[in-house]
Amino acid sequence: MSEPPAPTAQRQGPLLIALTCAGSLALLLAGRWALQQRAALTPASPGRQLSWVRHGEVDPQRRREASLLLVARAQGDPKAQRRLLAGQGWGSSPLAAVALKLQALATERLGRGTEAKALWGAVLQRFPQDPASADALYALGRQTPTQRLLLLRRFPAHPAALAAAVELGPSPGPEREGALHLARWGPRWPGAEPRLRHACSAKAPGLTPGERRTLALAFAELGDGATALDCLGPEEGLVADGAMTLGKALLKADAPRKQEGERRLLALAQRWPQSPQALEATRLLSQQDGPTALARLAQLPARLRATAPVQARLVLEQRADWRTVLRRWPRDPASWDLQWELARERLLKGQWTEAAEVLRRLEPAQLAAPLAARQQFWLGYVLRQLGQEPAARTTWEQLLQVAPNGYYGWRAALQLGQAKALKPPKLHALAPTPWRPLASGGVVLDELWRLDQPLEAWERWRDRRRNQPLTTPAELGVEGRLRQGVGDDWTGLVQLEQAHLRLPAGSCQTRQGFDHDLHPVRFERLFLDAGLREQVDPALLLAVALQESRFTPAVRSSVGAVGLMQLMPETAAELAGRPLSLEALKDPVTNVPLGARYLRHLLARWQDNPLLAVASYNAGPGAVEGWISPLLRQHPELWVEAIPYPETRLYVKKVLGNRWSYLQRDKEPSC
């Protein structure tokens, strides 16, 4: 008969089991923690790493992420994309819908229509409310028109719906419905404007007053106030939003229409004096020139006459005290503009003490970030003129800590002896553009951006926002970056600039992120080669192209300048030694070298003085010849402020600030 186990052994058994379980749980938790701590895959991840993760990673989510990143690198190779996406449509997450959609698109490009149709059907069946289904409805609607109608109802602002709206027709009913859909959800969509014009021209057969208003406001949103007014008809019925949009658009028209715009803005302010639109109308009216505009300000309701825009305008008309305005409304843009106008006037007269008083009336923290940089630079400048050298240097050093880039960062660095002037020109290699998170606050958007799928992120953003106005710097910044991601620098850079101008002065890290986005490198090889050939710094060429065309090759100005470097056809023909077609000038391969050659001629004419060369690029060397004065050598910053053309004055600062920002790309952030 065996002996019973000892009491100690009885106690050790459960203890060992508990320890084993605890150890296993700890290992599982540690393993999960280790998985979570691995560096996220991004567009900056090496291709070798992505290939290893796709084939060897245990986590299927990581395998799918690697596949999507590799798909982005296989642009133009649908066969490779289809292979990479095979088996990645598992699960119910938005990434599954995206993987299926991309697989369907790649299959279509390979000419496998039946397989593509099955994939589109799977997208629509499994993810009916996901924006990826908008593309499925568009594709399936080629054979089944009812799918297109479902697309317009379910995803009205999605790019696929806007493309479908452009294609509606050819009978008058569907054509009109397409035009009205575009007017509501995307008047700026390519191909929308001709549809809108046709609908307005055909307004007699059956357009209701509400439909006329919809079409008219679409033209107002496009900035075509004259057409909007013609389309509207006698029975308007506009509410405050519509009246604001139309009045603002009319300000851009000819003189009679402009007067009509002012009249409508005044009527808006009188009818809805408590509305946000009334405040915006007041701001616009206060910016108009001439005695008529002043008379309209006097007709505003008392509440609106006692606002910063009106009072700031009265200061400039010498009818109010500037100190009161700046003290009462220190954070209003009208006060910011007023402060600068007063300071600039005193700076140009050499009234240093008075200029210092004006500049000190607002704290940097009360200003938008770019304006705070301008204020700090000129305050340092004035302090130096007053003999307060240590205080001047401290002011510029503080400026460079928070705003090292741009025109005022460059001029502050020059004043401190930390930078050299731009002559003689030096060729600089361009630092690569690092990837940055989108930081939109939307989990799916940020994930798609991280996986190098900007088009998918953009479509979801557009579908979610449904053509709502962008009101905050964060919204403007996100949309601007998304537009850049899909190749729309023309609009994206404007939105980023608007966001930048609304940033508070203390947001150093956010500002430096915006500064990087505001100075993208496009067509890098062309600019490097042209700079080397003509001995012009590629950073200066990029700076000019950024300001001239926002890197949009097909853009043409109102005076006829064409392409990336906005060359006049006559100038381009002279530089090339032969006539050039419009299409040739739109080609960056032709346009960039000619722009570099023209800039080289201007630099040679002005002994490599960048201020004169850049001013000449905008205003012409003949005009610049008449602006040369001793001020250029003694106080070059003041010479720039004395340029009589406001457009050229801003142009010089923007271009040379762009150039400096490009040269700072490889510097460590100063925040």
Active-site positions? 548
Asked if 631 and 642 count as a contact pair (C-beta separation under 8 A), the reply is: yes
Longest dimension (CA), the chain: 121
Residue 567 forms beta bridges with which residues? 562
Spatial CA neighbour of 106 closest among 74, 138, 141, 66 = 74
Structure tokens at 15: 């203890």
3-state SS of 107-126? Answer: HHHCCCHHHHHHHHHHHHHH
Helix (H, G, I), strand (E, B) or coil at 343: helix
Spatial CA neighbour of 481 closest among 493, 469, 471 = 493
Phi, then psi, of 323 in degrees rounded to 5: -60, -40
| Residue 300 identity | L
CB atoms within 10 A of CB 226: 16
Query: Quick one: 555 exposed, middle or buried, by C-beta within 10 A (0-12, 13-18, 19+)?
Result: middle
| Residue 328 identity | R
Spatial CA neighbour of 659 closest among 433, 427, 502, 493 = 427
Rounded CA-CA distance 513/525 in Å is 24
Give 567's DSSP letter: B
Asked if 249 and 224 count as a contact pair (C-beta separation under 8 A), the reply is: yes
Structure tokens at 316: 């400039």
The residue assigned the tokens 């097909």 is 554
